[in-house]
Structure 1
Amino acid sequence: MLRSLSYAVPALVGDGRPARAVRELRGGTRKGVWRVVLADGSRVVAYRWHPDHDRWPAGQGPPDPADPFSPASGPGLFAAAHALLTGAGVRVPALYALEEEGGGGALAVVEDVGPTLEQVMEADPGRAAPVLEHLASVLGVLHGRTHPVFGKVAHVAGGGAPAAASCHEAVLVRALADLEEAARLDARVGAARSALEEELCARAARIGPRPGGYALVHGELGPDHVLVAADGQGALIDFEGLMWFDHEWEHAFLRLRFADHRRLATRPVDAHRMGLYVLALDLSLVAGPLRYLAGRAVSDRGVMAGIAERALGRALASVGCGGGW
């Protein structure tokens, strides 16, 4: 793999010389990520989509594009989201080249922006403060854009319609499926399944129609999905799941990943939607990691198990709380 990228990445950007160095980076669980030092000393980042880099168990079939929560991976989703974000003036790593078909999988070469916001927050909180301010303005731009149809941006741009009648119905369907899977994998969820199902349905029943269209949301925006550039601005990454959706879904995730999430508020949220989405997200963060870990030896087992355990604690604590968040 290292030798392959040493030649494939330079060739894709028009350089016939082999790269000086290739180093794998911690990236997502559905694609490989490497930092590549080219022959002239400049640095780029390479993304490769290939089944060998997808660490999730195989599904029951190809992802359903009409489902906004189907697995978000691949060069098509990446290219569509990158173009939309760039057109909106949102900072993302510059795309230098994209090869959607190749013997070793699809390959993209992008700008090497800098460390993640998560790394900066740990090492230098003072440097992170202006990045968070910039991120708040970026979210304002994203959530200020609306579309009358919800779903993944590539699916909507192609004229596709969602499988569900509303965002909260799509969330409920997914949450019930996550609850079923989590109950199968963890006895504690199984014991509380009926109460959790009732709570989900009760929260969904309180939600009214969505006025004014759907916002542009990243969907998994944590400090590990923001890179910090030399100028102090944040660049979004791992945006293949970009979709038109209720902005409350974004804020449910921000609430989980940022201690001072209220600094990132963009517009008022509907409390009933937040109530459903917070619980649904917790159930997703139980079922997803448990599925990832089931019967497999993985290097990040402790991290994934910790995510599931914390989310399970929050989900169980919510049962009988009357839907408050």
Structure 2
Amino acid sequence: MMRTFLTTDDVRDLAAEVCGTDRRIEALDRLAGGTKKGVYRLTLDDRTTVVLYVWAPGENYWPPSETVPDDPFTDASGAELFAVSHAALAEAGVRVPRLLMLDRDGRHLDADVAVVEDAGGRKLEELLDSDPAAAAAPLAALGDALRRMHTTRGERYGKLAAIACDTAPQTRPTEDIIVDRAMAHLAASAARDTRLAEAHERIAAHVRHLRSTVTPRQSYVLVHGELGPDHVLVTPSGEPVMIDFEGLTYFDAEWEHAWLQLRFGTAYPALHPVELDPDRLELYRYAQVLSLVEGPLRIADTDFPDRQWMLDLAEWNIVKALAAVTP
């Protein structure tokens, strides 16, 4: 598809509503990294900045795919999910960007829009790479926030908006949802990679074996869903600010920590995680490896601008998936 992105002319009225009419727009910069929504930094002539989130078809690079019907991590994008998740995290004592305006009525753009505080352009990921000592305090504060999330319990799993509307399906164990999700990712990936096609049965058997060791559970906690150090901004005062949280869900803490271990690497122990079930964690860790094959291969088939990065990510996880089933 031919993609067109916002210009300063598109957001003048929006900026006037949020920031007043006594300043003019100096720049509108589309920030890198978004694949489901557009993220823009709006700079005014007094150097004030805010961040715009735009949920529009032209901002979403992901092509459709078959999904598990009761998988709560699918379609984790949109202004409604953003608003509900923002409120829940704030209530749980988690620092998120201050919400300045939410427009779901198309008053300014032909899309849902949120305007939030600009918490700064420095990500925890960059700080961990460039100055690990300076990252220690925000990393510890993030660990505190995660423990608040992972001790905020619910009796039902699912997206918060679905639970509030009583539309969250509750028909089977969460671990079975993850198994079906993993099998779907395996099938889609095997159609694109001959190595996975040849190993399909061995990988599927490995997933079933991991599932067989998991004991039942019916208590769930708040999880971000895909929290990495690139989804945490660090303010000039060193405060960690969580972003990209539309996928906030009541689910198993092990799903979150499988991802955290992957993304934070050697920095992960500094998060001081809550107690976890090692068997459930291992199933979820392997399922996420398969997800990180399928997703990158799928988006690499589109016009996503950093296609090679996605292919490299898929390759890294193909090797990991095969290593687990290679004698």
Bucket of the pairwise TM-score, normalised by the shorter protein? over 0.9
Cα offsets for 1:225-272 (capped at 9, x unmatched): 000012211010000000001000001001100122122232211111
Amino acid at match of 2:102: L
Q: Aligned Cα RMSD in Å?
A: 1.8
Match of 1:288 in 2: 295
Aligned partners of 1:6 and 1:21 also within 8 Å? no
For 1:288, what is the secondary structure of its paired residue?
helix
Q: Which of 58, 61, 80 pairs up with 2:64? A: 58
Aligned partners of 1:150 and 1:243 also within 8 Å? yes
Aligned partners of 1:28 and 1:238 also within 8 Å? no
Q: Which of 19, 26, 40 pairs up with 1:20? A: 26
Q: Counterparts in 2 of 1:228-267, with a 5 A limit?
A: 228-259=234-265, 260-267=267-274
Q: Counterparts in 2 of 1:24-39, with a 5 A limit?
A: 24-39=30-45
Match of 1:74 in 2: 78
Separation (CA, whole Å) in 2 of partners of 1:78 and 1:99: 12
Q: Which of 153, 164, 189 pairs up with 1:157? A: 164
Amino acid at match of 2:322: L
Separation (CA, whole Å) in 2 of partners of 1:248 and 1:129: 23
Q: Which of 75, 84, 103 pairs up with 2:88? A: 84
Separation (CA, whole Å) in 1 of partners of 2:51 and 2:171: 37
Separation (CA, whole Å) in 1 of partners of 2:278 and 2:239: 31
Deviation of the 1:274 alpha carbon: 1.1
The change in CA–CA distance for 1:11 and 1:67 in structure 2 (over 3 A counts) is farther
Match of 1:119 in 2: 126
Separation (CA, whole Å) in 1 of partners of 2:129 and 2:115: 28
Runs of 4+ in 1 over 6 A off after TM superposition: none
Q: Which of 95, 103, 109 pairs up with 1:99? A: 103
TM-score, normalised with respect to structure 2 = 0.92
Tell whether 2:312 aligns with 1:306.
yes
Separation (CA, whole Å) in 2 of partners of 1:232 and 1:162: 40
For 2:53, what is the secondary structure of its paired residue?
strand
Tell whether 2:227 aligns with 1:221.
yes
Separation (CA, whole Å) in 2 of partners of 1:172 and 1:183: 16
Separation (CA, whole Å) in 1 of partners of 2:134 and 2:58: 37
Count of residue pairs brought into register by the alignment:
317
Deviation of the 1:3 alpha carbon: 2.6
Deviation of the 1:164 alpha carbon: 4.7
Separation (CA, whole Å) in 1 of partners of 2:210 and 2:13: 51
Aligned partners of 1:251 and 1:265 also within 8 Å? no
Deviation of the 1:5 alpha carbon: 4.1
Separation (CA, whole Å) in 2 of partners of 1:285 and 1:176: 13
Cα offsets for 1:287-318 (capped at 9, x unmatched): 01111112x34321121111111111111111
Amino acid at match of 2:321: A
Q: Which of 210, 231, 240 pairs up with 1:203? A: 210
Separation (CA, whole Å) in 1 of partners of 2:315 and 2:78: 29
For 1:272, what is the secondary structure of its paired residue?
helix
Deviation of the 1:14 alpha carbon: 5.2
Amino acid at match of 1:55: Y
TM-score, normalised with respect to structure 1 = 0.92
Gaps in structure 1 of 5+ consecutive residues: none
